[in-house]
Amino acid sequence: MDYSIFKGRRILVTGSTGFKGSWLCTWLLHLGAEVSGFALAPAADAPLFDQLNLRNRIDQHDGDIRDLDTVRAMMSATQPEIIFHLAAQPLVRYSYDEPKETFDTNVSGAVNLLEAVRENEGVKALVFVTSDKAYRNKEWIWGYRENDELGGHDPYSASKAAAELVFASYQDSFFKNRQGFAAASVRAGNVIGGGDMSLDRIVPDCIRAMKNGDEIVLRNPNSTRPWQHVLEPLSGYMAVAAKLLTDPDETIGAWNFGPDAENVRTVEELTKTAIDIWGNGSLRIERDENQPHEANLLMLISDKAKSLLGWRVHWDFTAAVTNTVQWYKRVDAGEDPIKVTDEQLDTFVGDAK
């Protein structure tokens, strides 16, 4: 895909200090964009932003999206043409502990961002990131299309479905007739990739255990997830942003970015593959019937992105897991995280040609 349209553009990434945000900022820098970031300062369990020295490579604004004045001030300071909105409380299990924080960040925070977009005529394109979990999970075997029903059981999923409704309301009420502006929401599933250290995510949990010589304990080994490398949906988000600029009428709406059906694997399969690539590690299965409800199967159908954007998955399950675990392994062995990330990005872009 040709992303040369981003060269020299002022681009804002909210959630810049997070896992996906750090990879996205890195990619946009490679493309010659002028990148600004907005997010909370990186948490102790989110080292990637600092590992990639992004504070010195982008125009970073630390702030809380729950505060409208802060968002307004950041928008005036950064004057973006293109926005990727990723800032969120993204963890399902944490959302059971902190539902209000989750809704405040993911729904009210999104309202604040949309307000600031409404007030800033210089913004030309907005890519609004939600999740595959925004779909009402029917726990059926079929995948979900962009026009399927939204909804959510746990607070995180509900917050992302609610964010979609808020986004659609701003689109219909304020953005539809705004000249020179277009927006789309993007929905992807679980992503893996180097540098994520979030709690309660399977790959970071495996890496922590393997580094410490601990057993990897799986609660739901048979849960299937549509695994994909973080660069896959990011390439989709960027394709949407590019098309919002060149072909806005065809691009507004929602877009799914999920892996192909062969990449839908169990948590156990992912863990065993990660152990193989890391070189050592052990696994214990400990079923706990008292776990909070977590959705079982959720698969996205990405036909729309494939036919209208020419988007494709470039790394299959094995390539995605291999690149992910290799990233941690190489950095653990003392290699420069920027070099490892740049090399993986170049390989991905090469494979995508």
Ligand X SMILES: NC(=O)c1ccc[n+]([C@@H]2O[C@H](COP(=O)([O-])OP(=O)(O)OC[C@H]3O[C@@H](n4cnc5c(N)ncnc54)[C@H](O)[C@@H]3O)[C@@H](O)[C@H]2O)c1
Neighbours of 54 (CB within 10 A): 23
3-state secondary structure of 284: strand
Residue 133 vs 286, nearer CB to ligand X: 133
- Give the shortest CB-347-to-ligand X separation in angstroms: 21
Q: Rg of the Cα trace of the chain? A: 19
The closest residue (CB) to ligand X is 18
Query: Among the residues of the chain, which ranges form H helices?
Result: 19-30, 48-51, 68-78, 92-97, 99-103, 109-119, 155-170, 202-212, 231-246, 248-251, 267-278, 303-309, 317-332, 337-351
* Nearest CB to ligand X, comparing residues 178 and 220: 220
Reading the block at residue 47, the tokens are: 């080292």
Longest dimension (CA), the chain: 58
Taking the complex as a whole, how short is the minimal distance between the CB of residue 242 and ligand X, in angstroms?
A: 19
Q: Looking at beta carbons only, is 230 or 286 nearer to ligand X?
A: 230
Q: How far is the CB of 63 from ligand X (least distance, A)?
A: 6
Could you give phi then psi for residue 142, rounded to 5 degrees?
-85, 160
Least distance to ligand X, CB of residue 113, Å = 10
Indicate the residue among 11 and 129 with the shorter CB distance to ligand X: 129
Instruction: Closer to ligand X by CB, 109 or 221: give it.
Output: 109
End-to-end CA distance of the chain: 7
Q: At residue 216, what are phi and psi to the nearest 5 degrees?
A: -90, 120
CB of 257 to ligand X, least distance (A): 10
Q: Which is nearer to ligand X, 66 or 145 (CB)?
A: 66
| CB distance 99 to 141 below 8 Å | no
Q: Which is nearer to ligand X, 128 or 181 (CB)?
A: 128
Task: Give dist(CA 345, CA 33) in Å, integer.
Answer: 16
Cβ 49 to ligand X shortest distance, Å: 7
**Pairwise CA distance, residues 74 & 240, whole Å:** 24
Among candidate residues 85, 27, 31, the one with its CA nearest the CA of residue 231: 27
> 253: part of which helix (H) or strand (E)?
strand 253-257
d(CA 155, CA 92): 7
Binding residues (CB under 6 A) for ligand X: these are 15-21, 39-40, 46, 64-66, 86-90, 105, 109, 129, 131, 188-191, 198
State the minimum distance, in angstroms, from the CB of residue 130 to ligand X.
7
At its nearest, how many Å lie between ligand X and the CB of residue 86?
4
Residue 19 or 135 having the CB closest to ligand X = 19
